[in-house]
Chain A
Amino acid sequence: MIKISKLLLIATLLFAACSTEDDGDNGGGTNGGDNFDRGEMLANWADNIIVPSFVSFQVETQNLEDLARAFAENPGDTELNALSSQYTAAYQEFQTVEMFQIGKAEELNYRRFLNTYPTKTEEIESQIASGSYNLELPSNFAQQGFPALDYLLYGYGSTEETLEVFTANPEYINYIVAVAERINNLTSEVTASWQGDYRDTFVNNTSSSSTGSVDRFTNDYVMYFEKILRSGKIGYPAGAFTGSPSPENVEALYAGEISKDLYLQALDSFEDFFYGVKINGGENGASYFQYLKYLENETDEESITASIAGQFSAIRAQSSELDNNLKSQVQTDNSKMLAAFDELQKEVILLKVDMMQALSISVDYVDSDGD
């Protein structure tokens, strides 16, 4: 008996010494029976939502760059109007991919390069005046992307006034081309990575640990709703965190009229993702909704999915009271903006507390020990 216990002791110590930490293994999750298949969910996300979204967004950014170049070649009002309307279309489409800040997008800081607002107008002006700038620098987050185009295309007034500014100094048009080109380049880099190796990396990492794709993506997804959608698009302009409304924080500040559309598009895309709506049609694939249904108690009357769905409706119902131009909304009746914030806030609680608890995904990346 002594020998056996000695052996056990050594085995235990060895196990203690060799056991891997909580970084999980990347083994494929072969789920049989009636288990919810996270691998299938990841594949649906990647193949039917994320990749097609990036593909169609890239069509828009390519158009954007082409039209910017066309405008540079022939700076007339037809070309400027074509460019401006393409800016609107691309910005709208951007809302469908803004939440996917994972993989290449995370590595490149994609979202911050494309959509940091309010844009720094004075620095844009001085960079144009000097004619030298490097848009790849992180210090240039707020001098490029859609907010910079927004300022350049809509910040000087009418088409005539804008053309007047541009023809006075051709550096303006160069800057517009540079910004459009950068948007397109970054987008094609992210799209290519999804079409290449990253798709498999993402889908195969079915690990249940905090480094698994589902855990990481869900953290990003919920964080996007809280910080980018709720705070960024509504909370900061409404002054929810300062007490004083700041209309200058509205997305698409200068184009103005499209700001609510951008918000609604972001909301739609976020909600569609929750239900696993495929971009190119067909029956919904596996996503959070199906996963929660799988885990849910059938007898539960007030189910999490029902609450989340109900809150999406409440947010949409409230948004109908908002002006198309969120800047005007802040200036005329900010209480409606704060009401929108409150509705979004309720959804944050459902997503971050109830949904993540049901999925047993911890809210943070701190891989500290538990009890």
Chain B
Amino acid sequence: MQLSPDKYLKRTTEAAPLAVFRLFFGLMMFASIVRFWLNGWIEKLYIAPKFFFSYYGFEWVKPLGDFTYLLFILCGIAALMVAAGYKYRLAIILFFFSFTYIELMDKTTYLNHYYFISILSLLMIFLPANVYFSIDAWRNPARAFQKIPQWCIDAIKLLLGIVYFYAGLAKINSDWLFEAMPLKIWLPSKYDLPLLGDLMQQEWVHYAFSWSGMLYDLFIPFLLLWKRTRFVAFLMVIVFHVLTRVLFPIGMFPFIMIVSALIFFSPKIHHGILNFISGWFSISKQKFDNLRTYQFFGIKKKISVGILSVFFVIQLLFPWRYLLYPGELFWTEEGFRFSWRVMLMEKAGYAQFKVVNAETGNRFYVNNSDFLTPFQEKQMSFQPDFIIQYAHFLADHFEKDGHENIEIYVENYVALNGRKSTPYIDPEVNLLNFADSFKHKTFILPFEDEIKGL
């Protein structure tokens, strides 16, 4: 086996795994959108609030009032089209943009899972997921292929591998491994689980979960890759994700990960799955088995491979950007998002904003619930980029109300992973002197403890 890039790019494999992946991905995305709607979250998260927290550089992305529903409908339809492989390229582009737009509307709702979906759908724009077992291939035999380049499937494996492995790396820290935090806080409160409730009270269980979670995340990509451990690894994937689903409110994500992990299995199994589906829906699967191989040619190949190479280099480097900032990452959260740092922190805060007239010294406190939903207030109270954005919003608001010479201060306490709450933002600092940026936020007070590790 030579690791020559050219040879590797020419290697081909069955398209079935990618088709199965596309099908389940589309269906689960559709289910997620429907679930989101039925839970009333569109209204609660994107229509009811008066103010939205934007990502730096994406201040122009805002909810669209009642048209926000239309955006979700669009996203749901696109997901179904992806599942069916109908006008796939258009559908996946539509899905990527609508889904990403939704996620950018308010960073209050940021979840690593959503980010994963966004970049996965971006990746899928460049993959020929519709050449097999799709409406596109059915309607146009000239565009139907049984085989595709191997790298198209490896790209998804690589992305999944990065997600797991980086999540594992992030768990190598003293809070997680030596304090069993935050599991020590979270697990005992699940006292009412059948069978597990009493176990969740035991300290050794908290440590066992912490360590096995770290080891699982680090090694599962490799166990899935290696043929001899693959089946056991998949059982572990199921157990792990079902357990997290039972213990924590993490919605659809565990199922998405379980189904995604199928991509590691051999084409034989995917043909089995497709045969099974074909049987149920009386689809003639043979029609797709034409032995033809899909190839990327010329400029298209260069662009696809080029873009995906850049994509993965960014994916590999981006989580390390926190090293460029001083201070404890968990405390400042500078470089925390988009880095697969999941379940690492139990963090809560309280932020009392003070509006001061610089001339007269007249001052008053802000009632946060006048402007923010409880969820927004909760998220804002321990994340500095939220705090700075909110401070500017308050200044604008009270200026319109006729207040003059406004300065905004905040008395802010934050508790992290079971430590006592301590002052977070310098209360002597007028927040209006700062604008949000990627630079280190000097108004964050230092963390009084130390968390060792990555």
Contacts and interface: CB of A to CB of B under 8 A. Distances in A.
Interface of A: 1-2, 5-6, 8-9, 12-13, 15-16, 19, 21-22, 24-25, 27, 29, 31-36, 38, 206-208, 212, 231, 235, 239-244, 295, 302, 304, 307, 345, 348-350, 352-354, 356-371
Contacts of A363: 348, 374, 378
B265 to A, nearest CB: 7
A366 B251 CA distance: 13
8 contacts: A38-B191, A241-B365, A354-B420, A363-B378, A364-B374, A368-B45, A368-B109, A370-B249
B248 interface: yes
A354 B191 CA distance: 20
Contacts of B44: 366
Contacts of A38: 191
A64 to B, nearest CB: 33
Interface stretch (B90-98, B132-140, B269-277, B327-335): B269-277
Contacts of B245: 19
Nearest to B370: A241
A348 B374 CA distance: 15
B346 A357 contact: yes
Contacts of B194: 27
B363 interface: yes
Contact of B366 (A15, A241, A369, A370): A241
A6 B413 contact: no
Contacts of B269: 2, 5
Nearest to B356: A243
A369 B378 contact: no
Given A16-B31, A21-B39, A24-B192, 17 more contacts: A5-B231, A8-B235, A12-B258, A29-B197, A34-B201, A35-B191, A231-B367, A353-B350, A353-B413, A353-B414, A363-B374, A364-B373, A366-B374, A369-B251, A369-B252, A370-B111, A371-B250
Nearest to B245: A19
B420 A307 contact: yes
B365 A29 contact: no
A6 B276 contact: yes
Contact of B201 (A33, A352, A358): A33
Interface stretch (B59-67, B153-161, B182-190, B295-303): B182-190
B349 interface: yes
Interface string B48-80: 000000000000000000000000000000000
Contact of B378 (A239, A360, A364): A364
A5 B20 CA distance: 14
B112 A349 contact: no
B273 A6 contact: yes
Nearest to B256: A16
B198 A370 contact: no
B364 A243 contact: yes
Nearest to B349: A353
Nearest to A294: B188
Nearest to B254: A16
A5 B201 contact: no
Contacts of A353: 348-350, 413-415, 421
Given A12-B259, A208-B191, A371 B198 contact: no
B364 A367 contact: no
B122 interface: no
Contacts of A243: 355, 357, 362-364
A29 B191 contact: yes
A370 B191 contact: no
Given A353-B414, A354-B420, A357-B348, A5 B268 contact: no
B421 A33 contact: no
Contacts of A295: 188
A369 B259 contact: no
Contacts of A208: 189-193
A231 B366 CA distance: 11
Contacts of B373: 364, 366
B283 to A, nearest CB: 17
Most buried by B among A9, A22, A302: A9
B305 interface: no
Interface string B161-196: 000000000000000000000000110111111100
B418 interface: yes
A368 B192 contact: no
Nearest to B423: A349
B201 A35 contact: yes
B252 A33 contact: no
A50 B39 CA distance: 33
Contact of B192 (A34, A206, A360, A361): A206
Contacts of B21: none
**What are the 8 tightest A-B residue pairs by CB atom distance, in nearest-first order?**
A364-B374, A243-B364, A360-B189, A369-B251, A366-B375, A16-B255, A371-B342, A29-B192
Given A360-B188, A369-B251, A2 B268 contact: yes
A302 B198 contact: no
Nearest to B253: A369
B352 interface: yes
A356 B348 contact: yes
Interface in B377-400: 377-378
B258 A368 contact: no
Given A27-B194, A371-B112, A349 B253 contact: no
